């Protein structure tokens, strides 16, 4: 009887100790919140306790990077007539930009990249400026001069007379991942909000924007949800380590203010452009020599591809780098030097990282079979009037030759002439109302033109056609 009683007592004690241990192990320590249990569709759902250490810490990146981001104030020269401006950048100067004769003020941001005063910003921030002033985070103000600009990437390099300045180091923007945290630093809405820091994530890569002016653009933007507003243009996009991964450039908005999406030029593009501007005074742009576009579902079905990825080559420029390497129309480019190519903006960005004369391995699909080519990039900045090995003459990215009834566009290429509507096979008969019979006539008339070039002729189908474009300033 006693033995049975002791057994019961011991069992009760063991059960009690076990229950206490379970309760103790699940009870939060002092200062911790109690996990809550909810019912969702009849199943228990338990919340997870998060401490401050579970959230990203931006303090180091913010405190260090903000010292290298500057406020840029510009004075815009008077215009005698309305100046066309891409609505994509309208938010920077406002709707009245381009009107009237009085001087106007604009502002943006910039990033110090060298201790001796070199600052990178956007081309649209300093374009047309008669004076540029830069204010550092320590409130010191300097006059700045333009070292060089690159409208195709919307990058500009300016310089102030100073030394020992804080700088930002370039990161490899190709290594950015979707969902990665980033900080946007700049001066939104003017001088009163200088050195403003916002946080967000990388929500997309390789984005391109509508091009309302028909100008040649190289775009492979980093898209983020970090808040960016007028004045942030030219400011820094940095990673958690405080390294520069992009230059904030624009927003997409129907109101002119931030609505959830902002875009930055990747640091790899910026680094190459800035290096060229410092070393050569202009950008040495490599050219692959193709036209095409991102593979869509229709092309993927036609080419019997498993996924709609890559760049479809619709045309190869005769005598160009791709042509000489053996790439043909209807090839699908999938990789350049180990970088996966899924879209046309990604291809443009990758090609833009090379210099003329550089070699690269290009992988492609032809009739479903993998192909590998070694490409030697050509100079994409061929001057008008340059005669090619095939006898054609360069004109705004196109190749011209004399024919019986005018001047034929042998290859429109992908430069300003093609962007304006010039097509292969088009016969140029008149330039600015003057008859032409040879390529040199076209070039001579274009040189004399002060503002624009208007071309009339006959399309490859025999129909009358015309197009025009503005000259480079």
Q: Catalytic pick from 124, 150, 323, 342?
A: 124
Could you tell me if 272 and 295 lie in one domain? no
**What band does 109 get if pLDDT is binned at 50, 70 and 90?**
very high
Q: Tell me the sheet residues that pair with 359.
A: 376
Could you tell me if 313 and 375 lie in one domain? yes
Could you tell me if 99 and 200 lie in one domain? yes
Q: Catalytic pick from 127, 173, 208, 233?
A: 233
- What is the model's pLDDT at position 206? 82
Q: Which pairs from 126-129 meet CB under 8 Å and 24+ separation?
A: 126/72, 126/74, 126/156, 126/158, 127/151, 127/156, 128/76, 128/77, 129/74, 129/75, 129/76, 129/77
Q: Catalytic pick from 150, 154, 323, 335?
A: 154
C-alpha distance across the termini of the chain, in Å:
110
DSSP state of 156: E
Question: What does the radius of gyration of the chain's CA atoms come to, in whole angstroms?
Answer: 29
Tell me the CATH number at 152: 2.40.10.120
Question: pLDDT per residue over 126-185, tens digit each?
Answer: 988 899 999 999 999 999 999 998 888 899 999 999 999 999 999 999 899 999 999 999
Q: Is 154 a catalytic residue?
A: yes
Cα distances from 471 to residues 215, 359, 417, 420, 453, in angstroms, run 11, 32, 11, 12, 7
Which residues span the domain enclosing 356? Answer: 286-379
Residue with tokens 């699940």: 26
Could you tell me if 206 and 349 lie in one domain? no
Tell which of 266, 283, 300 closes a domain: 283
Could you tell me if 298 and 418 lie in one domain? no
The H or E element that residue 400 is part of is strand 398-403
Question: pLDDT per residue over 414-445, tens digit each?
Answer: 677 887 888 889 999 999 999 999 999 999 99
Structure tokens at 30: 């002092």
Tell which of 337, 353, 379 closes a domain: 379
Could you tell me if 115 and 249 lie in one domain? yes
Residue with tokens 């192909």: 371
Mean pLDDT, range 321-330, rounded to an integer: 93
User: Is residue 6 one of the residues assigned to a domain?
Assistant: no
Distance CA 40, CA 152 (A): 53
Could you tell me if 344 and 445 lie in one domain? no
Tell which of 379, 403, 423 closes a domain: 379
Question: pLDDT per residue over 209-253, tens digit each?
Answer: 765 444 557 778 999 999 888 888 999 999 999 999 999 998 777
Q: Is 233 a catalytic residue?
A: yes
* Share above pLDDT 90 across residues of the chain, in percent, rounded to a whole number: 44
Could you tell me if 60 and 167 lie in one domain? yes
Could you tell me if 105 and 240 lie in one domain? yes
Could you tell me if 133 and 161 lie in one domain? yes
Residue with tokens 């931030």: 258
Could you tell me if 277 and 230 lie in one domain? yes
User: Is residue 363 one of the residues assigned to a domain?
Assistant: yes
User: Is residue 12 one of the residues assigned to a domain?
Assistant: no
User: Is residue 46 one of the residues assigned to a domain?
Assistant: no
Could you tell me if 74 and 60 lie in one domain? yes
* Structural domain count, the chain: 3
Tell me the CATH number at 466: 2.30.42.10
Distance CA 27, CA 13 (A): 21
User: Is residue 197 one of the residues assigned to a domain?
Assistant: yes
Question: pLDDT per residue over 281-315, tens digit each?
Answer: 888 888 898 888 899 988 988 888 888 899 999 88
Q: Is 355 a catalytic residue?
A: no
User: Is residue 20 one of the residues assigned to a domain?
Assistant: no
């Amino acid at each position: 009887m006693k033995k049975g009683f002791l057994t019961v007592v011991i069992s009760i004690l063991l059960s009690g100790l076990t229950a206490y241990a379970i309760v103790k192990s699940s009870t939060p320590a002092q200062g911790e919140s109690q996990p809550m249990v909810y019912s969702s569709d009849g199943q228990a759902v338990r919340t997870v306790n998060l401490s401050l250490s579970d959230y990203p810490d931006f303090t180091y990146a913010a405190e260090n990077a903000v010292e290298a981001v500057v406020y840029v104030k510009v004075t815009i020269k008077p215009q005698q007539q309305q100046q066309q401006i891409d609505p994509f950048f309208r938010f920077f100067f406002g709707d009245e930009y381009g009107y009237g004769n009085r001087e106007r003020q604009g502002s943006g941001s910039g990033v110090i990249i060298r201790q001796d005063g070199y600052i990178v910003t956007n081309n649209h921030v300093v374009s047309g400026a008669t004076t540029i002033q830069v204010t550092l985070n320590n409130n010191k103000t300097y006059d700045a001069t333009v070292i060089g600009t690159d409208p195709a990437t919307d990058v500009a390099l300016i310089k102030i007379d100073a030394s020992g300045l804080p700088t930002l180091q370039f990161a490899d923007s190709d290594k950015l991942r979707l969902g990665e945290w980033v900080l946007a630093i700049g001066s939104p809405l003017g001088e009163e909000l200088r050195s403003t820091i916002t946080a967000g994530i990388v929500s997309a890569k390789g984005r391109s924007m509508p091009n309302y002016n028909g100008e040649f653009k190289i775009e492979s933007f980093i898209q983020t949800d970090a808040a960016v507003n007028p004045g942030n243009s030219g400011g820094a996009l940095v990673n958690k380590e405080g390294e520069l991964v992009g230059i904030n450039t624009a927003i997409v908005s129907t109101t002119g203010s931030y609505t959830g999406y902002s875009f930055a030029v990747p640091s790899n593009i910026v680094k190459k452009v800035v290096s060229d501007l410092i070393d050569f005074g202009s950008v040495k742009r490599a050219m692959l020599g193709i036209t095409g576009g991102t593979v869509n579902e229709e092309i993927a079905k036609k080419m019997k591809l498993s996924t709609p990825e890559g760049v479809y080559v619709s045309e190869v420029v005769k005598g160009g780098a791709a042509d000489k390497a053996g790439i043909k129309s209807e090839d699908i480019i999938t990789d350049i030097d180990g970088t996966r190519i899924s879209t046309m903006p990604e291809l443009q960005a990758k090609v833009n990282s090379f210099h003329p004369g550089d070699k690269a391995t290009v992988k492609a699909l032809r009739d479903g079979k993998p192909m590998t080519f070694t490409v030697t990039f050509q100079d994409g900045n061929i001057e008008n009037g340059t005669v090619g090995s095939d006898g054609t003459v360069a004109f705004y990215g196109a190749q011209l030759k004399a024919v019986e009834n005018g001047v034929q566009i042998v290859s429109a290429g992908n430069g300003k002439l093609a962007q304006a509507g010039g097509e292969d096979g088009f016969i140029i008969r008149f330039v600015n109302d003057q008859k032409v019979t040879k390529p040199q006539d076209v070039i001579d008339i274009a040189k004399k033109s002060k503002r624009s070039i208007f071309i009339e002729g006959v399309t490859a189908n025999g129909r009358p056609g015309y197009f025009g474009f503005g000259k480079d300033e």
